[in-house]
A and B are shown apart, each in its own frame.
Chain A
Amino acid sequence: MLLSHWRRHPMQLATLLVGLIAATALWSGVQALNQQARASYDRAAATFGGARTAMLVGRDRAAVSQDLFVDLRRAGWPVSPMLEGRVPIGGRTIRLLGIEPVTLPVEASATAEVGKGGVQAFITPPGQTLISPETLADLGLMEGATPAIGDALKLPPLRVQPQLVQGVLVVDIGIAQTLLKMPGQISRLLIGKANGPRAPLEQVTGNQLRQVEPDAETDLERLTDSFHLNLTAFGLLSFVVGLFIVNSAIGLGFEQRLPMLRTLRACGVSARLLNTVLLVELVSIAVVAGLIGLVCGYFIAASLLPDVAASLRGLYGATIPGQLTPKPEWWLAGLAISVLGALAAATSSLLKAVRLPLLAAAQPYAWQQAQSRWLTLQGALAAIVLTGAAGVLLLGDSLIAGFVVLAALLIGAALALPVILGLVLALGERSTRRPLTKWFWADSRLQLSGLSLALMALLLALAVNVGVGTMVESFSRTFTGWLDGRLAAEIYLNASSEQQAVEIKRWLKPRPEVKAVLPGSRTDVQLSGLPVEVLGFADHATYRQQWPLLEATSDAWDRVRSGDAAFISEQLSRRLKLGVGDRLEVPALSGNWQLQIVGIYADYGNPKGQLGVNIDALVNRFPAISQTRMGLRVQPADVPALIAAIQQQFGLDGRNLADQATVKAESLRIFNRTFAVTAALNAFTLGVAGVALLTSLLTLSNSRLPQLAPLWAIGITRRRLAGIELLKTLSVALITALLALPLGLAVAWCLIAVVNVKAFGWRLPFNVFPLQLIQLLGVAMLASLLAALLPIVKLLRMQPAKLVKVFADER
């Protein structure tokens, strides 16, 4: 009997379902993406030597003799040898890792499988080849197969290890030495965390080996956290916006069924039974909607995954598989969130049902009084939330605090919206004496309570769109300008050896098209426990003119040339809390290198800290540094020919020889894909807000007849009424959208000045892009127009008889 209500109001049921489905779909879609990425980080981290470990490598990263391993073990070093190479399988080359399972440091291994009594099988002939399921599928092979590599050799039988990272084959180091034809050789030595007395490295191995600290870039989870937090925040926002729809649909359905509920109660049905029935109904609807939402969420996630994967690869070098494999927990969590969301959205209605008085309550207050009480309450809440936001902004100093500020800002603004709208509308009402205009304002005010949730959703969606749009645009502008500065040379090359580098330089010298050769070198050091890259560059007009300095002393370049001063990257300056004029010490072979900071430069997207110094000074302090990199200044027109000539002469391939245009295009492509995800989610939220507005308007239009009928009877045509109604909706939407713009800019500022700084360590210049704002305003008005159109058409086509009925119906 209660269900018959939905059959008579299919639109309402549809609205309820759409809201729940949208909420669940967006939320669970984002969750699926996050889970997928997390799972793949875990796998990457579990790769042997996946580089959360420190290691020892040869001077030029060349292979070294395995005797060193024995020497080091004897000297107390907890090292384990590893050999790496590539083997050809079926026309492709795959990375092959040879490991020594017995000495492998625990933290560097995913030895669950190897350890389970499998070590024996792994190391004794024919041995085993560990492979990830994806790689196995990629190669079109079966477990147990022994694929041939090259001419005569064969891999040991393949054995699937699910935790293994993609694109890697793992065998015992002895087998690897045979397969790679590198007998007695190793590529590097992993250093375990075991502490004990150990002889100094130089004493044991002379200068054959150097120690490489664990790479900052491998701590993928920490690095990508901010990215995932962003996604989660978006998912949450969409979810909340979806719940706005659910709330209004449930509220309406409940209002309309109140008389029936009263009748049932009057007939003796117990309140408990009624409430149980209502609850069961709601939960079943939520489960159905949740299931559909999960399927939609799956598709959303699957369609966004390539972009997400591309951004993660571009930003952090993290690879995640392109195939979406949601875990069972994901399905359960999705259903749970749907049910919880529906219950949360229905709370007020359900509470009303519980306390349902048997007699229709007389209205104690006129709408004006009720509204002003409600607005006062909302205003007070908004003030509290916004004050809280300001407090967190002043006191908080973490990424989470940044997001708390953002959330509080948005919630506070949403709560304040009806208050502001109420004030504006009241002002409008007071400013006119013309009856229709007055009614226009007064009636908008009357509708406010019914529309406010949808308008809040619109406000939030728009503000986030403005905020993220501004940030992306700021980033985009800054990024391109910065790329121009950082990639000043037209061609970048990296010779395969220092000897070749010298030859290349000699070969380049007489060529007239080469304006300048700018050598560059880099080395890794540790500063206060942080891995830092020291970049050496020549003193040349190219850098002087283009280096993206944010702040510098006037004599900065001369100071850097003298060798006792350095530029510091923005991230590093924030992390070490060092500014221009401060001093720092870089550990070098010949004792500490005292450097004064004379400038801070932008180094966007680099998770590592960086110092920029004069290259001659750098080579002086680190004589063993490899000097193979250089940039060439060439007229753009001469670039292709010169690249072709270098390729032919020195056999450098694309990885070691790149022209600036290609590098820039690649960087921009990664950048654009990163924000494609954001743009898609942005569009989704705006769409959901549009639906929220539509449903609210439809909901309201049902109860608006008594308000419109008197005007029609007095002599205002339906067409005129429809026009006024449309204008009313559009004007409240416009006021909301206009309020969303400054809010959006505040959100952008929060993202740029708080969240980004905490998440990435750099701060973008804050710009306002009026054209973008106008465009968004247009989109918002279009969405409102579309949402308002259906109820308006309904009104236009309404039979007079239906309007007349209002006056005759005995209620």
Chain B
Amino acid sequence: MLTVRHLTKSYRSAQEQVAVLRGVDLDVAAGESVALTGESGSGKSTLLHLIAGLDQADGGDITLENVVTTGLPDAARAALRRDRLGLVFQQFNLIPSLNVADNLAFQSRIAGRHDAVWQDELVERLGLAALLKRYPEQLSGGQQQRVAIGRALASKPLLLLADEPTGNLDEETADSVLSLARDLVARTGCGFLMVTHSARLAATLDRQVQLHAGLIR
């Protein structure tokens, strides 16, 4: 479903050009969950951002469900994120001025794919029923990430991308959040690509890939 071929990306810092990705190849099949690991600064986030269309690659192709997304204009990439992807970051996933219920429904509504039954199920499975009227800053880190996952999955994306979604959480909370995510991903049958530092968490997914020196190993 997701195919990444020969992807390259470099950043120009003050003096030198830093090649972060030097020809990355990666596949994620529908229903498959993949852990992306690698040392700090190896380019994991960069790769995830390119797949999400948040940034432009220098070379190579990203294909999502037979659509080549590299080289699409800004607006098309935004539409792609809205309609096809679910994104969860380490922090600041939620819209501070909206309450939990509105945050959960936000993406599915603007994507025009709101499904009340599915959302209710998500609320129940993620244990958010009591929190619907709260605002993001009134939630703990784990609660916030649960809402973020719910928001991302509510629109039934093709692919869920997560960049250290449990990075700010303690081990126990991280485990429970991740297992919820895994269950729900399996339930929707979407692909799941997660960046993590934790070998323990990585091991719970279907497959692990490691980014090293700009290449997938």
C-alpha spacing A711/B96, complex, angstroms: 11
B109 interfacial by beta-carbon distance below 8 Å: yes
Give the contact stretch, choosing among B71-79, B172-180, B202-210. B71-79
A706/B96 in contact, CB under 8 A: yes
B91/A439 in contact, CB under 8 A: no
Chain B, residues 104-147, CB within 8 Å of chain A (1/0): the string is 01110111000000000000000000000011011000000000
Q: Kindly provide the distance from the CB of A580 to the nearest chain B CB, expressed in whole angstroms.
A: 63
Chain A contacts of B96 at CB under 8 A? 367, 446, 706-707
B63 interfacial by beta-carbon distance below 8 Å: no
With contacts A439-B95, A710-B94, A806-B92 taken as known, whether A717 is within 8 angstroms of B87 at the C-beta atoms is: no
Chain B contacts of A712 at CB under 8 A? 78
B49/A709 in contact, CB under 8 A: no
B97 interfacial by beta-carbon distance below 8 Å: yes
A366/B135 in contact, CB under 8 A: yes
A800/B55 in contact, CB under 8 A: yes
Chain B contacts of A446 at CB under 8 A? 96-97
A181 interfacial by beta-carbon distance below 8 Å: no
Q: Which residue of A lies closest to B107 (CB)?
A: A714
Q: Kindly provide the distance from the CB of B159 to the nearest chain A CB, expressed in whole angstroms.
A: 13
C-alpha spacing A442/B100, complex, angstroms: 13
B61 interfacial by beta-carbon distance below 8 Å: no
Within 8 Å by CB of B92, from A367, A442, A709, lies: A709
B82/A714 in contact, CB under 8 A: yes
Q: Kindly provide the distance from the CB of A471 to the nearest chain B CB, expressed in whole angstroms.
A: 41
A367/B137 in contact, CB under 8 A: yes
Give the contact stretch, choosing among A327-335, A430-438, A525-533. A430-438
B97/A714 in contact, CB under 8 A: no
Chain B contacts of A811 at CB under 8 A? 91
Chain A, residues 336-380, CB within 8 Å of chain B (1/0): the string is 000000000000000000000000000100111000000000000
A435/B106 in contact, CB under 8 A: yes
Q: Which residue of A lies closest to B91 (CB)?
A: A807
With contacts A363-B137, A804-B49 taken as known, whether A706 is within 8 angstroms of B92 at the C-beta atoms is: yes
A52 interfacial by beta-carbon distance below 8 Å: no
Chain A, residues 796-811, CB within 8 Å of chain B (1/0): the string is 0000110110111011
A718 interfacial by beta-carbon distance below 8 Å: yes
Within 8 Å by CB of A714, from B45, B87, B90, lies: B87
B97/A439 in contact, CB under 8 A: yes
A713 interfacial by beta-carbon distance below 8 Å: yes
C-alpha spacing A807/B97, complex, angstroms: 17
Q: Which residue of A lies closest to B86 (CB)?
A: A714
Report how many residues on chain B are interfacial, defined by Cβ distance under 8 Å: 38
B199 interfacial by beta-carbon distance below 8 Å: no
A443 interfacial by beta-carbon distance below 8 Å: yes
Q: Kindly provide the distance from the CB of A347 to the nearest chain B CB, expressed in whole angstroms.
A: 27
Within 8 Å by CB of A710, from B74, B92, B110, lies: B92
C-alpha spacing A436/B82, complex, angstroms: 13
C-alpha spacing A712/B77, complex, angstroms: 11
Report how many residues on chain A are interfacial, defined by Cβ distance under 8 Å: 36
Tell me the residues in window 29-48 of chain B with beta carbons closer than 8 Å to chain A beta carbons.
45
Chain A contacts of B134 at CB under 8 A? 366
With contacts A804-B49, A807-B91 taken as known, whether A715 is within 8 angstroms of B82 at the C-beta atoms is: yes
B102 interfacial by beta-carbon distance below 8 Å: yes
Chain B, residues 135-169, CB within 8 Å of chain A (1/0): the string is 10110000000000000000000000001000000
Find the residue from A710, A715, A806 having the highest chain B CB count within 10 A.
A715
A718/B74 in contact, CB under 8 A: yes
Q: Kindly provide the distance from the CB of A334 to the nearest chain B CB, expressed in whole angstroms.
A: 43
B54 interfacial by beta-carbon distance below 8 Å: yes
B55/A716 in contact, CB under 8 A: no
A439/B106 in contact, CB under 8 A: yes
Chain A contacts of B94 at CB under 8 A? 710
B54/A800 in contact, CB under 8 A: yes
C-alpha spacing A669/B94, complex, angstroms: 62
Q: Which residue of A lies closest to B164 (CB)?
A: A808
Q: Kindly provide the distance from the CB of A515 to the nearest chain B CB, expressed in whole angstroms.
A: 76
Within 8 Å by CB of B55, from A435, A717, A720, A801, lies: A801
A710/B93 in contact, CB under 8 A: yes
Q: Kindly provide the distance from the CB of A431 to the nearest chain B CB, expressed in whole angstroms.
A: 14
Chain A contacts of B201 at CB under 8 A? none
A445 interfacial by beta-carbon distance below 8 Å: yes
With contacts A715-B81, A717-B74, A717-B75 taken as known, whether A707 is within 8 angstroms of B95 at the C-beta atoms is: yes
A716/B95 in contact, CB under 8 A: no
Within 8 Å by CB of A713, from B54, B56, B102, B111, lies: B54
Chain A contacts of B194 at CB under 8 A? none
C-alpha spacing A715/B89, complex, angstroms: 14
Q: Kindly provide the distance from the CB of B77 to the nearest chain A CB, expressed in whole angstroms.
A: 8
A435/B82 in contact, CB under 8 A: no
B68 interfacial by beta-carbon distance below 8 Å: no
A711/B83 in contact, CB under 8 A: no
C-alpha spacing A807/B56, complex, angstroms: 17
Chain B contacts of A706 at CB under 8 A? 92, 96
Additional 15 contacts, C-beta under 8 A, given A439-B98, A442-B97, A803-B54: A366-B138, A367-B97, A367-B137, A368-B135, A435-B110, A442-B102, A445-B97, A707-B95, A709-B92, A713-B81, A713-B87, A714-B81, A807-B89, A808-B89, A808-B163
26 contacts between A and B (CB under 8 A): A366-B137, A366-B138, A435-B105, A438-B98, A438-B102, A439-B98, A439-B106, A446-B96, A706-B96, A707-B96, A710-B94, A713-B54, A713-B81, A713-B93, A714-B110, A715-B79, A715-B82, A715-B111, A716-B78, A717-B78, A804-B45, A806-B92, A807-B92, A808-B45, A808-B89, A808-B163
